[in-house]
């Protein structure tokens, strides 16, 4: 007789009467390159993933027009991320305000804009750059998300980029939103997904209540990007994330007096253990070493079989940092 429950402990110790416990996932500030500071919500020390969502950076809102250097001269504006590689994941770029220029090694050139989904599937290897152009609007606010690819497809899915300007919308009484990936209340995104998951950008009117239908097989998290939300006994505000465990039919979300906007991320718990290092995902230390070697070789060779360079980008690609002296170990989705 085996234990068929995936995480029996999670059903215990609930502070909320109609489901498993809620957890606050604290963000931490990370400086990216020279110009961008983000709040990293995933991976989190105790909970590395929510469904296949394995990386959540939230940045802004930031007024780029006020940036000046120490001489008072307007400085570099906003996002400036040179070409860098990814493996075994999808990048999901989502903006609330502003504009970012995306280029990648399969030849895509796209402007990332609010409410439009830009999703890049790395397969075994892709490279991309993300920059704020001089003509971008002055305010920048967004999220950079990664979805882990399952082992069955991670090296065989061809590197691709998809952009969706016209995503499905959902309407509730006093709440509404855009479905980025998966299905919310019967509305399904056309974006490619390789495990059962969902992502949505939802808004609840001031003082409103949303009884959000959930898929009981999914675990979820909410990331508040504007205003304040009440979920169970917790009241996450700007930049705060709350983990909502699986086995719920719905959850009651209440907006503060000013209303609330938040990302809903969820999916079937991702049981494969991952090695995540820099911009690579693998299943072993050797996977990461091979990806790093291939990228460093691609930089000096001007591209190779695994990583092509990013056409149209004016500047040098980003070299990988040195590997740690220790062996990278696969980690489970939670501790
Ligand atoms: Mn990237």
Per-residue pLDDT of the chain (335 residues; tens, 9 = 90+): 444 444 444 443 333 445 668 999 999 999 876 667 899 999 999 899 999 999 999 999 988 876 655 555 555 667 889 999 999 999 999 999 999 999 999 999 999 999 999 999 999 999 999 998 888 888 999 999 999 999 999 999 999 999 999 999 999 999 999 999 999 999 999 999 999 999 999 999 999 999 999 999 999 999 999 999 999 999 999 999 999 999 999 999 999 999 999 999 999 999 999 999 999 999 999 999 999 999 999 999 999 999 999 999 999 999 999 999 999 999 999 98
Residue 133 in any domain: the answer is yes
* Domain range for 46: 16-267
Residue 188 alpha carbon to ligand 1 centre in Å: 25
Q: What is the pTM of this model?
A: 0.92
- Classify 243 as helix, strand or coil: strand
Residue 110 alpha carbon to ligand 1 centre in Å: 14
Residue 203 in any domain: the answer is yes
Q: Which residues contact 239 (CB under 8 A, 6 or more apart)?
A: 27, 39, 58, 223, 224, 225
Residue 96 alpha carbon to ligand 1 centre in Å: 18
CA atoms of 150 and 267, how far apart (whole Å): 13
Residue 29 alpha carbon to ligand 1 centre in Å: 17
Residue 56 alpha carbon to ligand 1 centre in Å: 12
CA atoms of 79 and 98, how far apart (whole Å): 11
**Which residues on adjacent β-strands are paired with residue 21?**
none
Whether 155 contacts 123, CB under 8 Å: yes
Residue 13 alpha carbon to ligand 1 centre in Å: 38
pLDDT of residue 13: 33
Residue 186 alpha carbon to ligand 1 centre in Å: 31
Residue carrying the six token digits 């027009």 = 65
Whether 308 contacts 85, CB under 8 Å: no
Residue 129 alpha carbon to ligand 1 centre in Å: 7
| Cis? peptide before 61, omega within 30° of 0 | yes
Q: Which residues contact 329 (CB under 8 A, 6 or more apart)?
A: 275, 285
CA atoms of 227 and 260, how far apart (whole Å): 4
Can you spell out the DSSP letters for 166-177?
A: S--EEEETTEEE
Residue 272 in any domain: the answer is no
Residue 280 in any domain: the answer is no
Residue 181 alpha carbon to ligand 1 centre in Å: 19
Number of structural domains found in the chain: 1
Residue 297 in any domain: the answer is no
User: What are the backbone dihedrals phi and psi of residue 326, each rounded to the nearest 5 degrees, phi first?
Assistant: -85, 165
Residue 300 in any domain: the answer is no
Residue 332 in any domain: the answer is no
Residue 278 alpha carbon to ligand 1 centre in Å: 10
Residue 148 alpha carbon to ligand 1 centre in Å: 13
Residue 304 alpha carbon to ligand 1 centre in Å: 19
| CATH number assigned to the domain comprising residue 193 | 2.60.120.10
Residue 123 in any domain: the answer is yes
């Amino acid at each position: 007789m085996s234990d068929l429950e995936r995480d029996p402990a999670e059903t215990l110790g609930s502070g909320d009467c109609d489901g498993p416990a809620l957890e606050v996932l604290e963000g931490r500030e990370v400086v990216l390159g020279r110009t961008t500071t983000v709040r990293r919500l995933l991976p989190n020390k105790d909970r590395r993933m929510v469904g296949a969502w394995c990386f959540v950076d939230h940045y802004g809102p930031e007024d780029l027009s006020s940036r000046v250097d120490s001489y008072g001269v307007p400085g570099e504006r906003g996002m400036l991320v040179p070409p860098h590689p990814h493996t075994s994941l999808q990048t999901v770029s989502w903006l609330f305000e502003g504009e970012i220029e995306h280029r990648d090694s399969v030849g895509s050139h796209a402007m990332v804009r609010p409410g439009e989904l830009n999703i890049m599937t790395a397969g075994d290897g892709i490279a991309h750059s993300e920059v704020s152009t001089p003509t971008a609007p002055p305010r920048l606010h967004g999220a950079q998300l990664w979805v882990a690819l399952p082992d069955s497809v991670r090296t065989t899915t061809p590197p691709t980029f998809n952009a969706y300007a016209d995503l499905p919308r959902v309407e509730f009484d006093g709440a509404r939103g855009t479905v980025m990936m998966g299905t919310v209340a019967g509305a399904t995104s056309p974006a490619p997904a390789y495990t059962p998951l969902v992502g949505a950008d939802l808004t609840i009117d001031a003082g409103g209540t949303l009884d959000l239908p959930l898929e009981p097989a999914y675990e979820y998290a909410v990331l508040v990007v504007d205003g304040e939300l009440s979920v169970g006994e917790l009241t996450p505000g700007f930049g705060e994330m709350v983990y909502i465990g699986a086995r719920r039919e719905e959850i009651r979300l209440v907006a503060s007096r000013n209303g609330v906007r938040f990302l809903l991320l969820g999916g079937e718990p991702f049981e494969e253990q991952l090695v995540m290092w820099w911009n690579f995902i693998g299943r072993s230390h050797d996977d990461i070493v091979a990806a790093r070697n291939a990228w460093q070789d691609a930089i000096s060779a001007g591209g190779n079989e695994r990583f092509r360079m990013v056409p149209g980008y004016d500047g040098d690609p980003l070299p990988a940092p040195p590997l740690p002296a220790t062996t990278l170990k696969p980690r489970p989705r939670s501790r």
